[in-house]
């Protein structure tokens, strides 16, 4: 529709999640008319996120050092481990202030329709962590939807024979939803009222 650089920018923006063609066009023209210093800052932020951010070697949360801020925090307990799908879920749970243990980020959920099985998630790494014997309780905080439930069931079956207490977040979370969209109070209550499985 447009030529050259502006169309290229619209196309790239349109590939981002949640950005439709109209939004892509609006953002592209906003950038075009923006102050050059603002655009440079945005471009730098995009480049730096790819250069600097990596995954924590312990829990697979996002980090800028070998271990993330939470894994480096010696005040946090090592006996309770909370399993989540994505780094954004760590942020959601941290906001509740209810949890002082550590995390394990799976990198998604079991989803046969999209060809995602246990081997595509960081389940092997989770089992290695549990094998150290430090963890006494595992909290399954995968999303309250079909894939999240399937993943929680799978993990419970694998972990319970190891003699580790396994719990799942209490109901009250919007079913079919995404953990990150739950408000702090609801998520905090779900955490407090977790039930063993
Ligand atoms: Zn970590």
143 has pLDDT over 70: yes
Distance 72 CA to ligand 1 centre (A): 7
pLDDT grade for 180, boundaries at 50, 70 and 90: confident
Residues, CB within 5 angstroms of ligand 1 (ion): 56, 58-59, 61, 68, 71
From 141, 123, 151, 134, select the one nearest 178 (Cα to Cα).
141
Distance 130 CA to ligand 1 centre (A): 15
* 42-100 pLDDT, tens digit each: 999 999 999 999 999 999 999 999 999 999 999 999 999 999 999 999 999 999 888 99
Distance 183 CA to ligand 1 centre (A): 24
Distance 51 CA to ligand 1 centre (A): 18
CB-CB neighbours of 167 under 10 Å? 20
Q: What is the pLDDT of residue 104?
A: 98
Q: What is the pLDDT of residue 99?
A: 93
**Per the structure block, which two tokens stand in for 45?**
């932020």
**Phi and psi angles of residue 57, each rounded to the nearest 5 degrees, phi first:** -75, -15
Give, as one character, the DSSP assignment of residue 181: G
Mean pLDDT of 152-162: 93
Distance 59 CA to ligand 1 centre (A): 4
177 has pLDDT over 70: no
**Phi and psi angles of residue 185, each rounded to the nearest 5 degrees, phi first:** -70, -45
The CA-atom distances, in angstroms, between 109 and each of 77, 131, 137, 165, 182 are 25, 22, 20, 21, 18
Distance 87 CA to ligand 1 centre (A): 10
**What span, in angstroms and rounded, lies between the C-alpha atoms of 166 and 16?**
37
Distance 16 CA to ligand 1 centre (A): 27
Q: What is the pLDDT of residue 174?
A: 65
**What span, in angstroms and rounded, lies between the C-alpha atoms of 28 and 20?**
12
């Amino acid at each position: 529709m447009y030529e050259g650089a502006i169309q290229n920018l619209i196309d790239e923006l349109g590939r981002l999640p949640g950005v439709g063609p109209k939004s892509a066009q609006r953002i592209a023209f906003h950038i075009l008319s923006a102050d050059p210093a603002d655009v440079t800052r945005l471009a730098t932020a995009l480049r730096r996120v790819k250069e600097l951010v990596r995954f924590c070697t312990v829990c697979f949360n996002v980090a800028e050092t070998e271990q993330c801020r939470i894994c480096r925090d010696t005040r946090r307990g090592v006996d309770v481990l909370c399993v989540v799908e994505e780094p954004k879920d760590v942020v959601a749970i941290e906001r509740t202030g209810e949890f002082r243990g550590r995390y394990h980020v799976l990198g998604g959920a079991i989803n046969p329709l999209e060809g995602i099985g246990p081997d595509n998630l960081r389940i092997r790494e989770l089992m290695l962590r549990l094998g150290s014997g430090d963890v006494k309780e595992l909290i399954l905080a995968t999303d309250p939807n079909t894939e999240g439930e399937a993943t929680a069931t799978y993990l419970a079956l694998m972990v319970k024979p190891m003699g580790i207490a396994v719990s799942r977040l209490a109901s009250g979370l919007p079913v079919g939803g995404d953990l990150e969209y739950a408000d702090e109070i609801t998520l905090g209550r779900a955490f407090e009222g977790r039930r063993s499985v």
